[in-house]
């Protein structure tokens, strides 16, 4: 299904901000307007990455930047937060099912399935998801989705 990226993203952001009005989300879309994809799967990816950005934010730095831009074979959806960040040694673990980093930010009511689910969806869509992070600075989750799914 062909989606309008601007409209789709704004709908996702609006729904999120009804729940968390104090959290700021900035959207940058470069040189692209539409994308052929499954909006249900894409909304689930947005949802999980936005919830994480909110949950693992630092006090006073509640901001997420979502950037969408073209790369060779598809689109990159980049979610960059200014949250607590992730230690290098944990980066390989966070996509595992039921894995949660043990620290004081650990939230009740979390299962540790959000990123594992995102990764399954992205793989199913023939894309990939990667993360860059610095403890105390923030994290960036990059989701690549190819044009031909
Ligand atoms: P669930 O998503 O199932 O409610 P969860 O958020 O703990 O639970 P995941 O979304 O899979 O699980 O994330 C796994 C772990 O990775 C989290 O417990 C958290 O420690 C870490 N993490 C995920 N996203 C971020 C982020 N944006 N900033 C810092 N740490 C993160
Ligand atoms: Mg999560």
94 CB under 6 A from ligand 1?
yes
> Is any atom of ligand 1 closer than 6 Å to the C-beta of 113?
yes
| Nearest ligand to residue 129 Cα | 1
pLDDT digits over 42-79, tens only?
999 999 999 999 999 998 888 999 999 999 999 999 99
* CA-closest candidate to residue 51, choices 93, 75, 70, 79: 79
pLDDT, tens digit, for every residue of 74-104? 999 999 999 999 999 999 999 999 999 987 7
pTM of the predicted model, to two decimals?
0.96
- For residue 85, the ligand 1 atom closest to its alpha carbon is 29
Here the ipTM equals 0.98
């Amino acid at each position: 299904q062909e989606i309008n990226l601007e409209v789709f993203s704004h709908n996702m952001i609006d729904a999120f901000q009804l729940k968390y009005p104090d959290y700021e989300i900035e959207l940058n879309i470069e040189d692209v307007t539409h994308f052929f994809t499954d909006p249900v799967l894409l909304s689930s990816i947005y949802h999980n990455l936005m919830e994480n950005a909110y949950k693992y934010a630092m006090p006073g730095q509640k901001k997420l930047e979502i950037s969408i831009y073209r790369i060779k074979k598809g689109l990159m959806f980049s979610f960059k937060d200014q949250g607590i960040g992730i230690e290098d040694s944990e980066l390989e673990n966070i996509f595992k099912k039921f894995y949660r980093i043990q620290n004081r930010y650990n939230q009740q009511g979390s299962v540790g399935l959000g990123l594992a689910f995102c990764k399954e969806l992205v793989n199913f869509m023939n894309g990939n998801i990667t993360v860059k992070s610095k403890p105390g600075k923030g994290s960036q989750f990059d989701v690549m989705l190819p044009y031909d799914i």
